[in-house]
Structure 1
């Protein structure tokens, strides 16, 4: 399997690539080949007199390539110019990637995390599963928020077709995941509808049985309230290493856009987020 790994050549991304446990998790997911891509500004002219932008970019990219190759991965490198999310997603489609990885840095470990503009735009337009990896900024260093990327997975579902597509990710996650929490949020207006809550509980239980049979210790919750807030509350209780969500397209005539719940959770969660877009219409 193949992953497009987006890098801005920063120390933060290098910290993630240098974390052996993270790379082992990606290997368990099935990744054997990386397409390491960095996107330069179209306004930067590498050929200007005295400019060594191209040389420095290539040297930094080769250094990061070495980190991945040292762990046994096959690596292809790409230096492209243009709008980052378009070039990253375009490469993912061109090489038929199974996963796209982007890093997201919080402003402070004590403040709510904010998804970066590149990660946000990639998420809004991706047609491939996307892992948004949290990288924590310390005073003079960086570290990943969760080394064991897929050890504890919080899966939130509204039982839609694309939520089911996101659940299929457990086919790849099962060798890396030890525990899972399955969550469905019932809107406040349906609080009195006990039949709806009971049905949701039964559907979650069926999914839990599936995961238990794969050797994943699983628990379920039917929560009541606003979806984003309840998913984040479940995160605070369960402390997952990754939140698994399906996204929704808003228009069949345009490139798929991230749904509001998925976008809010991705922006505010402390955990990594694995987003699964609707199946592309070819």
Structure 2
């Protein structure tokens, strides 16, 4: 199946809204101006985009040498034009406060289907990939979050993976949260050509009591087949985060699809250690599907 095609007799994906968070940086500009990326959003059913920029509370337009308001208006005008020319309806939101909290708040208030945030690639001085706002969003979002990797260390960066969902690697521990993430293929399939299903057996896993992981992955592959997608499967053994990242290196997907696991009954949801490590250290894009707010 070719990504983006809809077989005869099959309904296109239902209309969705997306929040694109921008800090007016080169990474944000690259993410928004990617024709391929916008096309991928269109294919999965996004028709309305909410462009959100958050002004930190400690930044003021009257600060010496800074014309924030003018720069912000010019940038948002250009971004809006680019997105509208790609065929989307656009709304812009300029708010003040803590970036990840305000982005989450807007996403919830408009019932967004996903949040998209750009993140620069690895720094030569550090081993982590993800920026602070993207990391905080990953830890707290109750809306599916796509972290779009952008080149680091160049003046005119490119996306590290131009296609958002063309080659998707789905990592599963067969939990309820992993099943929730798997259901995202119901709409991602319209922009997907290749799927790799990976399960990592940890040394801590008990032997017996559960169905064979190869069989469980085969069942998932059959479900994808019903949606017109073929998938390869692999069971790995070792540390889950390390093996998932090793699988990313081996298969070179456009995007890693993972479910996060809430560890608290409080309103703020935290990632489990595996999801957090994957989001922080993956080379390419990561699509994180959180548990529902009531979890």
TM bracket (short chain): over 0.9
List runs of 5+ in structure 1 lacking aligned partners: none
SS state at 1:34 partner: strand
TM-superposed CA distance for 1:44, in Å, is 2.3
Cα distance 1:20–1:196, how it changes in 2: closer, same or farther (>3 A)? farther
Say if 1:18 and 1:67, in contact at 8 Å, map to a contact too.
yes
Tell me whether 1:199 sits opposite 2:212 in the alignment: yes
TM-superposed CA distance for 1:212, in Å, is 2.0
Partner Cα separation in structure 1 for residue 23 and residue 222 of structure 2 = 41
TM-score, normalised by the number of residues in structure 1: 0.93
Deviation string 1:23-47 (CA, Å, 9 cap, x unpaired) is 1101111111111011112122336
Cα distance 1:273–1:196, how it changes in 2: closer, same or farther (>3 A)? farther
Deviation string 1:134-189 (CA, Å, 9 cap, x unpaired) is 00125332000111110111001111111000000000111111111111111124
Match of 2:29 in 1: 14
TM-superposed CA distance for 1:215, in Å, is 2.0
Deviates more, 1:72-81 or 1:111-120: 111-120
SS state at 2:18 partner: strand
Match of 1:159 among 150, 174, 180: 174
Tell me whether 1:149 sits opposite 2:164 in the alignment: yes
Partner Cα separation in structure 2 for residue 250 and residue 4 of structure 1 = 25
Q: CA RMSD in A?
A: 2.1
Say if 1:2 and 1:35, in contact at 8 Å, map to a contact too.
yes
Match of 2:137 among 122, 126, 149: 122
Cα distance 1:97–1:190, how it changes in 2: closer, same or farther (>3 A)? closer
Tell me whether 1:255 sits opposite 2:268 in the alignment: yes
Match of 1:214 in 2: 227
Match of 1:71 in 2: 86
SS state at 2:49 partner: strand
Say if 1:208 and 1:219, in contact at 8 Å, map to a contact too.
yes
Partner Cα separation in structure 1 for residue 204 and residue 92 of structure 2 = 51
Partner Cα separation in structure 2 for residue 51 and residue 179 of structure 1 = 46
TM-superposed CA distance for 1:70, in Å, is 1.2
Say if 1:242 and 1:271, in contact at 8 Å, map to a contact too.
yes
Match of 1:240 in 2: 253
SS state at 2:46 partner: coil
Give the number of aligned pairs.
280
TM-superposed CA distance for 1:112, in Å, is 4.8
TM-superposed CA distance for 1:51, in Å, is 6.5
Tell me whether 1:25 sits opposite 2:40 in the alignment: yes
SS state at 1:159 partner: coil
TM-score, normalised by the number of residues in structure 2: 0.89
Tell me whether 1:280 sits opposite 2:293 in the alignment: yes
TM-superposed CA distance for 1:5, in Å, is 0.3
Deviation string 1:55-99 (CA, Å, 9 cap, x unpaired) is 221121111111111101111001111000000000000111000
Partner Cα separation in structure 2 for residue 124 and residue 152 of structure 1 = 25
Partner Cα separation in structure 2 for residue 51 and residue 273 of structure 1 = 34
Deviates more, 1:47-56 or 1:25-34: 47-56
Partner Cα separation in structure 2 for residue 135 and residue 90 of structure 1 = 25
